[in-house]
Structure 1
């Protein structure tokens, strides 16, 4: 997957993408571009006792709390921000975001 900078995204503001204030706002964000964040794509969860965990080995099947085809949760710094689908990109797994979660909805 390619690294994308802010300039790779089209501005869809009310002025049609030619807003000098938008360019200024993007420049104001420059100090945070290199701040690392932890991104997790959670396929599902499972709860078990330590004794059950110790019985797992190669070939064991771990049942998750999701159904086949159900969206996965995408977390940034342990905060739910989106849901998406698993995709394959050049023999690697990736995630396509299908829904952005508003901050007031992410407390679930």
Structure 2
């Protein structure tokens, strides 16, 4: 490609036009994606994050019999990864851990980030 420094070359005019079009397109894309103040607004939106230890299915009659001290077996076993759910969608899996700063609290150590395709099938 022959690029001259003058303004009379069709090649250089074409190159600069492409660069300007790309820059304009990038600016428009940046605005759509939320750069700057728009992104700050999005980052402040609260989301509900839950860690699912497991679940159980039972008839309503058995549910009505539950009382204080009843144990409900869950479908997950000790040591199996737990699901990390944000706004109803599985986004990760991890292991339950005791929080170092406060031994009376649990936390989750993430072991896997779930990709969009897998998250869609789990949500």
Alignment TM-score > 0.5, same fold:
yes
Partner of 1:21: none
Partner of 2:55: 45
TM-align CA RMSD: 2.0
- Bigger fraction of residues in strand: 1
Which structure has the larger Rg?
Answer: 2
Partner of 1:93: 106
Tell me the TM-score normalized by structure 1.
0.71
Moved runs in structure 1, 4+ residues, more than 2 A? 24-29
Structure 2: gaps (5+ residues): 1-33
How far apart in 2 are the matches of 1:92 and 1:68? 18
Structure 1: gaps (5+ residues): 1-23
How far apart in 1 are the matches of 2:78 and 2:107? 17
> How big is the shift at 1:29?
2.4
**Is residue 81 of structure 1 aligned with residue 91 of structure 2?**
yes
Tell me the TM-score normalized by structure 2.
0.63
- Residue-pair matches, total: 86
How far apart in 1 are the matches of 2:115 and 2:108? 19
How far apart in 2 are the matches of 1:62 and 1:81? 26
